[in-house]
Structure 1
Amino acid sequence: MSTKISAAARLLAVVALGALSTPALADFVRFDAQSDGRPDLAALSDRLDREEPLIMAALNVPGAAVAVVRDGETVWSTGYGLASVREGTKVSADTVFQVGSISKTLTAWGVMHLVETGQVSLDAPIESYLTRWAFPPSAFHSSGVTVSRVLSHTAGLNRVDGYPLPGDQPLPSLEEHLDGNNGGGQSLRIEMEPGQQFNYANAGYTLLQLMIEEVTGQRFSDYMQEVVLDPLGMTDSTFDPEQVSTQATGYYPNGVPLPHYRLTEQAAGGLYTTANDLALLLAASMPSSDGGLAGRGVLTSESVQTMMASRDMPDGSVVSFGHLPEHLDGGLAGTGNNGHTEGWIANMVMIPELGEGIVILTNSDTESTGLTLRAWTQWLGVSETFTTQAADGDLDESRTILLGGAAVVFIGVLVLIIVTAVQARGGNRRWLWQTGRTTSRQFAVRGIITALAIGGLIAFLAWPERQVYVALLPAEAATVLVTVVLAVAAVILRASTRQASK
C-alpha cells in the first residue's frame, strides 16, 4: 500500500515539473527573426498583445498606448484598455495623454531652432536673454548658467517642482512660478557650481520657456506649435491646454480619477500628445531607410546630433540636451525621456544605432512602462534600460515575497510528504477507501478539501499577476508554481489517505 501512495506522490511531482514547460515560459526568450536578421515585428506585437493587458490588470492601469519606430518610421501602434473608465472610452494610438517631462525633449528642439536661426547661443548665459526675471543673489555667478547647461541639467540650479491646478483655477505667471509661487515655496536659485554635476531641475526648463517667449515675442505654446509640432506632423499635440478638446483621464494608483490639470511650466511638463505623434518625434530623431536625414528639415541633422550627443560630467554622470542618455551592453547608446506627473506616466526610448524606438503612454500614476520596455529590449536582444531597471527595483519586494513565501510553503509541504511516506512505509497509512472505517461524512469533508485544493490551483493559474510574474520574474514564478502544485498534491494525498485501523 505504501508503494502505491509513494508512486502517486511521485506522479504528482512530475506533473508539477511538467508545468514549467508551458508556452508562456517558452515564449519568454524566443523571438523569431525576419529575413534580414532583425527581430520580427509580429513577435513583439503578439507578446505585447498578450502581456500588456496582464500588466495593466496587475498594476491597476486603466489604459496604455504603444508605438514602435523602426528605421525612421512608425511600424506598429495600438492602444490597450480605457481612456475613461466612467465613459468606457477605449484607448487608441491617437488618444491624447499628458506626458510630463517628455515635454523637455520637444522644448530642446525649440531651443535648437533658435540656435540655428542665430537668435540664441548655447554658450551664452541664459540671463542675457531675460528682462522679466533675474536670479536671486547666491555664492555662484549667474554667468555660468548657460543655455546649454540649463538644457542638460548641469547649471547648478535647485530642483523646483511645479504643481498642477484644475482648469477653473488661475495659473501663476512664469515669473511668479520662478519666484516661489509653485506649490513648494522655493524660488529658482543657483545652489551649486555650474557645469560640475547633473542635478535635475524642472524650473530650468521653465526658465527656457521664459527665454523663448522673450526672444521670440510669442507665447511659448504658439512658438512650439509653429516651429516644432506642426512641421514634424505632430498635429494632435499641443502645449496649450485650451486647445485640447478631448483627452484621456488620468488616475491615481487606487483608480480614483483626476481632474484635467494645467501647468504654468509647459516647457518642463505641459505637453499633450499621442503615441503616434511621439513616434514621429522619435522617427525624426534618426535617419530613415529612404535616405531622410535626422531632423526632417525642422532641424538640421547636425543640430539633432548636438542635442542628443552624450556629455560626460566631472561627477561621472552622462548628459545631453532634453534627453536622458545611457550606455547599453555591447557599446550601444540608448536615449529618450520619460514623464511622471499626477495621473500619468510616459516613456520613450530609442537606440539610434539600431534604428529602433518605442513610445509607451499610460493614464495611471502607477509605473508599468518599464515592464513593457522589458519586452521591447528582450525582443531586440539588448540590455535593459534604466527604466526597466527601476521597475526591477520595484519588483524586488515582490521577488522577496514570492521566494520567501515559496520557501515557507515548500518546507511545510516537504515535512508533510515525509510524514506521509514514513506512515505509509510502516503500514500506518492507507487510501481512504481501504481503511474500512471511513464514514460518508468523512468522505464528503475530505472530498471538499480536495476540491478546494484543486480550485485554489486553478485560481492561482488564472491569477493575472502570476502571468505577469511569469514574464518578468520567470525563475521566481517557476519556483512558486512548482511549490504550489506540490502543495496541492500533498494536500490531496493527505486528504485521500488516513491512519489505518489498528
Structure 2
Amino acid sequence: MFQKILSLSLSLFLVLFLLNIAYAKSDIHIESQINNTLENENIVGLSWSTISNGHIEVGSAGYANISTFEPMTPAQKMHVGSVTKSVLAMGVLHLIFEERLTLDTNVESLLSELNFDNAWSDRSPIKVKNLLDHTSGLDNIRMWQLLSTKPLPNTPLEEAFESSQHNLLKIRTEPGTQYSYSNMGYTLLAMVIEAVTNERYEYFLDVNLLTPLEMHDSSFAFISQRGQFADPLLAMGYYENNVAQSAVPSYLRPAGQFTTTAPDMAKFMMFVLGDGKVNGEGFVRPEHMNMLTEPLGTEAHIAGLNIGHGLAFAKRDRHNVLGMCHPGTTFGFRAYICLFPDENKGFFYATNTDNETTDYEKFNKLFINRLSLTPAKITEPMGKGVELSRLQGIYLPSPNNMAEFEFIDMLFNFIWLEQSNDHLLIKSLQNADRQLLQINESLFRDVHRTQASHVVYSNEESRVFISDGLKTFQKASGITLVLYWVSLIFGLIGLIYILLIGVIRIFKRDKDGLRRIKWVFINLALFSLPIYLYANQSFLKFGDITAASICLAFLSGLLPITLLFSLWISLRGKLQSKLIKLDIASFMMSIQFCLVLAAWGQIPIIFWQ
C-alpha cells in the first residue's frame, strides 16, 4: 500500500514538474516574442496582463523611461487613451443599476445648458445609450479640443462645449441609427455623471467604481510624469525616434484620461467576464452585461450585420477569433483590451510609445495565440444575393469622422466598389483592396474574416449604403467627385503657376509681368511664414490662437481677394499677349477652387473653432 502511494506521489510530482517546465518555457517564449516585437517595431516598453479561466498572468518588457534606464514593470502606471471609455461605461451602467439613470435618459434635457442642434429631437433625442454606443450623431472632436495648451486638470467639462460654438453640438445623423465614434459623446457622459451625482466625475468613478473593483493603482484623475501632478510610477510616453512626451490635460479628458496598471486591468477583465456582481452583490444589471458589445438598433444591425459597437466594447473579428475589444491612443501611449466571454479569456496591454509606423496588430496576434483561443466558425454563403453590378460605384464617408475635415475626406477617403467575378472588391486611395464574399442578399464577408463583415442597405430615400458596423459609406455620383478633383487639380496648377512665374519674373526683372501677379504672388509667398511659425511651436498649440494660426487664417482668407484683384488688373490690360492670357487662366483656375473651398467652409483656414 505504501509503495502504491509512493509511486502515485512520484508520478504526480513528475507530471507537475514537467508542467512547470513547459509553463516556464512558455513564459520564456512569450517574453522573447514580446522583446523581439518591441525591438523590431521601435517600441520603448510594454506591460500586459492575460486572464484564462480565472488564472491571471502579468508581465512587462522594455523601459519605462529611457533617460534613466528604468525598466518597465507589471506594476508600472500607464495611460490607456480610449480604453478609458470602456471603464467609464461601466461606471455609467452602475449608476443605472442604482436607478439614478436609465439607458433612455434624455441627455438633451438633463444637460439643457448646452446648445444641442438636433433636427430629430422631437422623435429621437440623444439618450444615454446613444452616447455609450456612439450612435448619438455627434461629431468626434475638434482640433481645438484635442491640441490646446489652455485646459487645466480641473477645467470644467462644459468649457469643451463653448456656447459661442453654435455648430459644435450639431447632430449629423439621427440618434440611434448609425455608429460614428465620438470623443465628445463620452465627455457628455461624464457631464451626465456630474449632473446626477453632484460630484466631479473623476472622484465619483474612483470611489464608486475603481474602489469596489479593488483597482487601487488606477485613477481617472490627471497624472503626469512631471510638475505638480507628477507620479513616479507613471511611465514616460514617447513618439517616433524616442521623442519623450509628458502627459497634458485635455478638454475632452473623460474620453481618454485614465491611468492604470496591468494587474488592475486584470481585475477589470475579471469583472467584465463575470455576471455583473462584485463580492456576490449586484453592480451592473445582467441584461446590460449582455449588451456590452451588441450593436442594437442601428440601420446596419437591422439590415443583418452583427458586427459593431455595444454599450462598452466593439465586436472585433481578427486572427480567426471573435472578441469584444477597445483600442486606446493618447499622447505617447497606446493600449488595447480584448475579451472572449465564451472562453472566459482576455488580454490587455499598454505601451508607452505612440508610433504611427508600428504594426500594433502583432501584439494582438501574439496574445491571441498565447491564450490558445478556439477559431471562430466561418460563415459560408447562404444563397443567391443581390446582383453585384448594381452595387458598383463611388461611395463617400457618411458621415466622416470629423466634420471640419469633411471636404478632405470626401476627396481622399472615398471608396469604390467593383465586381470581380462572383466577388465584390472595395478599393480606396489609402488601403489595399479588400475582397468580399457574398453571404446573402445584403451581407458580405471579407476573405480575411470569419463572420459577415459588411452589409449593404437602403434608407427611406432609397440611398444605398455599405457599412462594416463602424464605418459607413453612401453611394454617390462619380461625376460630382470627378468635378471636385478637376477643381482641385486646376486650382493647384493655377497656384503653382503663379508661384513659379513670379520667381521667374523677379529674376528677369519683368516689371510689367510682375505687376499683374505681384499681390497674389506675395500672398502665396507669405504662406511660408505660418509654416515656419508652426514648425517652431509645440504641436499641442495647433488648436490655439497663436501667431501661426492667426497668420494662416489671415493669408488664406486674403487669397481670394488678391486673386480677384490680380485678375482685375490683368483684364484692364491688352489681352493679345499669350502671357497675359496664361495669367488670367491661372487666376480663374485658382479662384474657382477658392470658391469651392469657401463653400465647404475651408477658407479662411481656422482650427480654433
TM range (shorter): 0.5 to 0.7
- What corresponds to 1:461 in structure 2? none
Correspondence 1:335 to 2:285: no
Once the two structures are TM-superposed, the CA of residue 329 in structure 1 deviates from its matched residue by 8.5
Pairing 1:175–2:158 present = yes
Q: Deviations over 1:303-353 (max 9, x none)?
A: 5524414124312452211211235688x6410211012211000111011
Q: How large is the Cα RMSD of the aligned pairs? A: 3.3
Distance in 2, matches of 1:276 and 1:120, equals 30
Offset at residue 134 of structure 1 (A): 3.7
Q: CA deviation at 1:274?
A: 0.9
State whether residues 63 and 79 of structure 1, in contact with CA within 8 Å, keep that contact through their aligned partners in structure 2.
yes
Matches of 2:240 and 2:161 in 1, distance apart? 30
Go from structure 1 to structure 2 and tell me whether the alpha carbon gap of 1:116 and 1:248 turns closer, same or farther (over 3 Å shift): same
Residues 302/250 of structure 1: CA separation in 2 closer, same or farther (3 Å cut) = same
- 2-side partners of 1:307 and 1:188: how far apart? 27
Give the C-alpha shift of residue 87 in structure 1. 1.3
* Residue 141 of structure 1: aligned partner: 121
Greater shift in the superposed pair: 187-196 or 228-237: 187-196
3-state secondary structure, aligned to 1:94: coil
Number of equivalenced pairs? 344
d(CA) in 1 for partners of 2:69, 2:36: 19
Specify whether residues 172 and 221 from structure 1 end up closer, same or farther in structure 2 by C-alpha distance, changes over 3 A only: closer
1:340 match: secondary structure: strand
- C-alpha displacement of 1:354: 0.5
- The answer to whether the aligner puts 1:248 opposite 2:235 as a matched pair is yes
Distance across 1 between alignment mates of 2:167 and 2:244: 29
CA distance 1:395–1:73, change in 2 (3 Å): farther
Aligned to 1:314: 299
| Residue 71 (1) aligns with residue 56 (2) | no
Partner deviation per Cα, 1:84-124 (whole Å, 9 max, x = no partner) = 10111111111011100011011111111111111111012
Contact 2:151–2:249 (Cα < 8 Å) also in 1: no
1:266 is the counterpart of 2:253: yes
* Structure with higher helix content: 1
- Structure 1, unmatched stretches of 5+, are 1-33, 385-393, 398-502
The CA distance in 2 between the partners of 1:65 and 1:180, in whole Å, is 41
Amino acid at match of 2:368: T
Structure 2 residue aligned with 1:230: 211
* Residues 329 and 273 of structure 1, relative CA distance in 2, 3 Å threshold: closer
**How do 1:340-379 and structure 2 match up within 5 A?**
340-366=329-355, 367-379=358-370
Distance in 2 (alpha carbons) for counterparts of 1:181 and 1:106: 32
* Separation of aligned partners in 1, 2:322 and 2:317: 5
Aligned to 1:48: 30
When residues 276 and 144 of structure 1 are mapped into structure 2, their CA distance, relative to the original with a 3 A threshold, is same
Relative to structure 1, the CA distance from residue 362 to residue 228 in structure 2 (aligned partners, 3 Å threshold; closer, same or farther) is same
Which structure would you say has the larger RCO, counting Cα contacts within 8 Å and 6 or more residues apart?
A: 1
Partner SS, residue 210 of structure 2: helix
Distance (whole Å) between structure 2 residues aligned to residue 293 and residue 169 of structure 1: 35
* Match of residue 496 from structure 1: none
Alignment-mate amino acid for residue 322 of structure 1: A
Q: 1:64 to 1:241 in 2, by over 3 A?
A: same
TM-superposed CA distance for 1:79, in Å, is 1.1
Q: Counterparts of 1:68 and 1:46 in 2: how far apart (Å)?
A: 15
What amino acid sits opposite 2:133 in the alignment? S
Of residues 150, 166, 188, the one that matches 2:131 is 150
Task: Give ranges in structure 2 of 5+ residues lacking alignment.
Answer: 1-15, 224-228, 377-429, 434-609
The residue that corresponds to 1:302 in the other structure is: 286
Query: How many percent of aligned residue pairs carry the same amino acid?
Result: 24
1:305 to 1:102, Cα distance in 2 relative to 1, 3 A: same
Query: Structure 1 residue 186: deviation in Å?
Result: 6.8
User: Which residue matches 2:271?
Assistant: 284
Q: Give 1:267's aligned amino acid.
A: P
Given that residues 47 and 375 in structure 1 are in contact (C-alpha distance below 8 angstroms), is that contact kept between their aligned partners in structure 2?
Answer: no
Q: Mean alpha-carbon deviation: is it higher for 123-132 or for 375-384?
A: 375-384
- What secondary structure, in the 3-state scheme, does the structure 2 residue paired with 1:47 have? helix
Once the two structures are TM-superposed, the CA of residue 51 in structure 1 deviates from its matched residue by 1.3
Q: Are residues 85 and 298 of structure 1, via their aligned partners in 2, closer, same or farther at CA, if it must alter by over 3 Å? A: farther
Q: In 2, Cα distance between the equivalents of 1:257 and 1:274? A: 20
* Cα distance change of structure 1 residues 108 and 295 upon mapping to structure 2, 3 Å threshold: farther
Q: Residue 39 of structure 2 corresponds to which residue in structure 1?
A: 57
In structure 2, what is the Cα distance between the partners aligned to 1:266 and 1:46? 38
2-side partners of 1:174 and 1:282: how far apart? Answer: 28
Task: Please report how far the alpha carbon of residue 239 of structure 1 lies from its aligned counterpart in structure 2 after TM superposition.
Answer: 1.0
**Contact 1:249/1:257 (8 A) holds in 2:** yes
1:308 counterpart letter in structure 2: L
Give the drift of 1:150.
1.0
TM-score by length of 2: 0.52
Residue 48 of structure 1, CA deviation: 2.0
Aligned pair in 2 of structure 1 residues 72, 381: CA closer, same or farther (>3 Å)? closer
